[in-house]
């Protein structure tokens, strides 16, 4: 059948073979190629049709949108035309994404505007809700995991969708050939690499055609990898062209790296799947470009009323408005009730839990509550923030079959945990949370970021590596390394990956013992000043104490109601400070096993903590970009009101005090390292590593060496701000850094699954 698009035609159905409507004479093919076959929807701005692209041999289906506003008022027509054109612009800007229908054409014909899109085969969530009833927690988690990366992608392109709702989210049919991943191709490449390893690294991969196949594995935009990782992959693929000329050790390393990255790519390709297929986000008719986090122009209310965020209803949509609508979508799926019924206007509160057939877990409930916050500042600010919380209850990006917070696999290098934390315990008061590392990595996994600007000539002249430092050991882990801590009294290193803690001999690089017991990802580690006790904080909300000599668990401290992100011990080892996703910071007396104080005052997550050398001050870094100094004098134990250090514009991810306590060093996502006077609370100096977000830092015990981590390690003289060297080797974001007491051994961990131990050659 062919369908006439003349809105006044009374008999629009026609045979396939005719070119003109038998009833009204209108042309049946758009641009001579797109043949509408049936209507599939109608809205306030036009009609939507299923069509056939007759120009292609396979005759693929596509979607034709016809601009036909119901309101013919001149002013409304003008606005509607702008929105229709805007949808085409947004789709073109977003380019090719596997979960967004591609724009095929935008044109006018016979005084009508048309937009042609890729056809997404499947059922939308509203249809699935109608057919199968309320969604389970497992299914709602799948929706979040599947759609949040898409929102992060469009937000990274400065686009606000403004109409997130069940009808605009389609679960694609499994057999949608156009959307099938390249997983099978990557599996073949992995098998080839495995065969090469089994045959002793001497066989066919020297063939340049293999290099070409590797490159082709990444021909699509690197949506699931950072630009840095994508570039690294292309460079690595090029190395296979000269594989036969490489030494055996380099061949071995090259094959191992390629295998690891292919595994990541294959796993990430399925990260947006539900049980039956990927989720697609459609209907960008309401989407609009934004500057920063707000729309270019405000004052226009667009979207579906039931799902609108309060600020969007006032014509001032922000990125967080899409998150609000996603939250409303989720509670609608859980209850099958109108969102209007789920909000009590008399009490101005959500009552969605009253309509649940089965209670949801505390984790999911907390996430939904934050998505539904009416105040923008109290709501999640980005999709990665939501993913970060959500991943505390998921394993490997997949949905858990249990509503309870499940275990997080420690063996999967593809898992995407909430956070990473580490900092050496041997330097008093320098434990920081690298929860921010996880946010960065997830963000990179969702949408490629622009490549950094070329460094200044002066910066390019800085040495690429300090000749006296070299890597003596590379410790391999089954998954991403989340945290490390060095013993202050012996060459012992603790590291966490997933739910597992490993102890290592720093001198030999050999594993000593594995500690298990946490039920979820371990984000932070700290060792007591006497080197006898290890403390670990986890997404299972607990802080556990371990005997380092025996590996036995000594006890558990329950301070928080959510994920523990950061830990730090006072220099005398008597007081533990902890930070979490949402709870106030806690001070715990380890001698009496009682809570000393609860500190609140920063708006965001507490990403970093550090005690001053005298133990009288506690510094905390937050996702709101502030650093707070707290008076935690052990005699008064008041906590008092904090003193704020303001200067960073993004998350403060790392903190450390200089040995004299007069200077505090902070590292931030804004790419800067700042040195602050603790007496005046003023900024003394700013360092700019020019290597991306600063995710880790540490100071030597004598204060003469500062090491920062982002994509690379950089060494500095903190008092002069002089950059000394860059140490390369890690292939992903550095999660933690530690220095030994003599400053001659440096340990770094990364999301590439490795720990590198560096030695100063002059020692």
Q: Which residues belong to the annotated binding site?
A: 65
User: Within 13 Å of residue 125, how many CA atoms lie on the same side as its CB?
Assistant: 30
d(CA 267, CA 270): 6
Gap between the Cα atoms of 178 and 167, Å rounded = 21
Report d(CA 761, CA 763) in Å as an integer. 5
Distance CA(633)–CA(358), nearest Å, equals: 48
Contact 557, 545 (CB under 8 A): yes
What is each CA distance from 207 to 202, 346, 473, in whole angstroms?
Answer: 11, 72, 31
Residue 373: closest CA among 657, 200, 582: 582
Separation of alpha carbons 190 and 205, rounded Å: 12
Return the DSSP state at 262. H
Q: Measured in whole angstroms, how far is the alpha carbon of residue 121 from the centre of its chain?
A: 28
Q: What is the DSSP letter of 287?
A: -
Element (H, E) at 528: none
Q: CA torsion sign, 489 to 490 to 495 to 500?
A: negative
Q: Which residues are bridge partners to 739 per DSSP?
A: 746
C-alpha to C-alpha distance for 262 and 268, rounded to whole angstroms: 10
Q: Are 426 and 486 in contact (CB under 8 A)?
A: yes
Contact (Cβ atoms closer than 8 angstroms) between residue 584 and residue 593: no
For residues 491 and 10, give the distance between their C-alpha atoms in angstroms, rounded to a whole number.
Answer: 85
* Helical residues (DSSP H) of 535-680, grouped into ranges: none
Q: Is residue 518 within 8 Å of 540, Cβ to Cβ?
A: yes
Alpha-carbon distance 536 to 406, whole Å? 18
Q: What is the DSSP letter of 406?
A: -
Closest Cα partner for 280 from 91, 520, 496, 541? 91
* Residue among 296, 327, 324 nearest 312 (CA): 324
Distances from the Cα of 741 to the Cα of 424, 535, 613, angstroms = 10, 20, 14
List the structure tokens of 571: 């220099």
CB 146 within 8 A of CB 390: no
Q: What are phi and psi of 206, to 5 degrees?
A: -70, -15
Closest CA to 539 of 400, 417, 369: 417
Residues β-bridged to residue 247: none
What are the tokens at 701?
């015990």
C-alpha angle 754-760-763 in degrees, rounded to nearest 5: 140
Q: Are 315 and 300 in contact (CB under 8 A)?
A: yes
Q: Percentage helix, strand, coil, to 5, in the chain?
A: 25, 30, 45
Check residue 435 and report its DSSP letter: H
Q: Beta partners for 663?
A: 677
DSSP single-letter state for residue 217: T
Contact 672, 648 (CB under 8 A): yes
Q: Which residues pair with 42 in a beta bridge?
A: 47
Binding residues for ATP: 65
Q: What is the full DSSP assignment across 623-660?
A: TTSEEEEEE--TTT--EEEEEEEE--SS-EEEEEE-TT
């Amino acid at each position: 059948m062919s369908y006439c698009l003349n809105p006044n035609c009374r008999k629009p159905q026609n045979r396939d073979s005719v070119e003109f409507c038998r009833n009204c004479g209108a042309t049946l093919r758009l641009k001579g190629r797109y043949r509408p076959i049936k209507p599939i929807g109608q809205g306030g701005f036009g009609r939507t049709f299923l069509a056939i692209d007759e120009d292609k041999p396979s005759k693929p289906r596509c979607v034709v949108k016809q601009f036909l506003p119901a309101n013919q008022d001149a002013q409304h027509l003008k606005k509607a035309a702008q929105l229709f054109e805007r949808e085409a612009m947004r789709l073109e800007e977003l380019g090719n994404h596997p979960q967004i229908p591609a724009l095929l054409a935008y044109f006018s014909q016979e005084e009508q505007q048309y937009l042609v899109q890729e056809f997404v085969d499947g059922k939308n969530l509203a249809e699935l809700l109608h057919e199968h009833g309320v969604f389970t927690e497992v299914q709602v988690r799948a929706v979040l995991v599947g759609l949040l990366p898409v929102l992060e992608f469009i937000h990274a392109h400065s686009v606000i969708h403004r109409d997130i709702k069940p009808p605009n989210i389609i679960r694609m049919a499994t057999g949608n050939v156009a959307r099938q991943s390249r997983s099978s191709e990557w599996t073949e490449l992995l098998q080839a690499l495995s065969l090469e390893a089994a045959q002793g690294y001497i066989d066919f991969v020297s063939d340049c055609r293999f290099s070409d196949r590797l490159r082709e594995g990444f021909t699509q935009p690197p949506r699931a990898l950072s630009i840095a990782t994508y570039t690294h992959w292309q460079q690595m693929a090029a190395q296979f062209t000269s594989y036969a000329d490489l030494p055996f050790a380099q061949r071995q390393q090259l094959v191992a790296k390629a295998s690891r990255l292919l595994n990541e790519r294959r796993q990430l390709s399925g990260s947006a799947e539900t049980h039956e297929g990927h989720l697609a986000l459609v209907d960008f008719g309401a989407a609009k470009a934004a500057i920063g986090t707000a729309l270019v122009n405000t004052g226009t209310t667009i979207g579906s009323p039931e799902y609108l965020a309060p600020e969007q209803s006032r014509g001032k949509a922000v990125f967080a408005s899409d998150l609000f609508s996603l939250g409303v979508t989720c509670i609608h799926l859980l209850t099958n009730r109108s969102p209007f019924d789920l909000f009590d206007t008399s009490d101005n509160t959500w009552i969605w839990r009253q309509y649940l057939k089965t209670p949801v877990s505390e984790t999911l409930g907390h996430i939904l509550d934050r998505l539904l916050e009416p105040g923008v500042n109290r709501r999640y600010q980005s999709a990665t923030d939501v993913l970060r919380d959500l991943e505390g209850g998921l394993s490997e990006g997949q949905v858990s079959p249990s509503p309870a917070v499940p275990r997080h696999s420690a063996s999967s290098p593809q898992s995407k945990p909430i956070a990473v934390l580490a900092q050496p315990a041997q330097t008093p008061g320098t434990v920081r949370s690298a929860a921010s590392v996880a946010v960065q990595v997830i963000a990179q996994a969702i949408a490629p970021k622009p490549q950094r600007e070329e460094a200044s000539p002066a910066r390019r002249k800085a040495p690429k590596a300090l000749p006296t430092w070299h890597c003596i050991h590379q410790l391999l882990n089954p998954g991403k390394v989340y945290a490390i801590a060095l013993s202050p009294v012996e060459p012992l290193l603790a590291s966490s990956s997933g739910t597992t803690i490993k102890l290592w001999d720093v001198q030999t690089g050999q594993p000593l013992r594995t500690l298990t017991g946490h039920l979820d990802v371990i984000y932070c580690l700290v060792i007591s000043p006497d080197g006898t006790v290890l403390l670990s904080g986890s997404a299972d909300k607990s802080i556990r104490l371990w005997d380092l000599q025996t590996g036995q668990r000594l006890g558990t401290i329950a301070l928080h109601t959510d994920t523990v992100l950061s830990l730090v011990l006072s220099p005398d080892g008597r007081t533990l400070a902890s930070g979490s996703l949402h709870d106030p910071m806690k001070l715990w007396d380890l001698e009496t096993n009682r809570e000393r104080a609860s500190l609140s005052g920063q708006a965001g997550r507490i990403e970093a903590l550090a005690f001053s050398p005298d133990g009288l001050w506690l510094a905390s870094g937050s996702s709101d970009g502030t650093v707070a100094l707290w008076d935690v004098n052990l005699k008064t134990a008041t906590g008092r009101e904090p003193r704020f250090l303001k200067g960073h514009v993004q998350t403060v991810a790392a903190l450390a005090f200089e040995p004299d306590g007069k200077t505090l060093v902070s590292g931030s996502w804004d790419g800067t390292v700042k040195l602050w006077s603790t007496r005046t609370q003023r900024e003394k100096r700013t360092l700019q590593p020019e290597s991306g977000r600063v995710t880790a830092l540490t100071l030597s015990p004598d204060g003469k060496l500062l090491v920062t981590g982002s994509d690379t390690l950089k060494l500095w003289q903190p008092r002069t701000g002089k950059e000394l060297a860059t140490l390369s080797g890690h292939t992903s974001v550095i999660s933690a850094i530690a220095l030994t007491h003599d400053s001659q051994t440096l340990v770094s961990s990364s999301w590439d699954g490795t720990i590198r131990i560096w030695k100063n050659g002059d020692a």
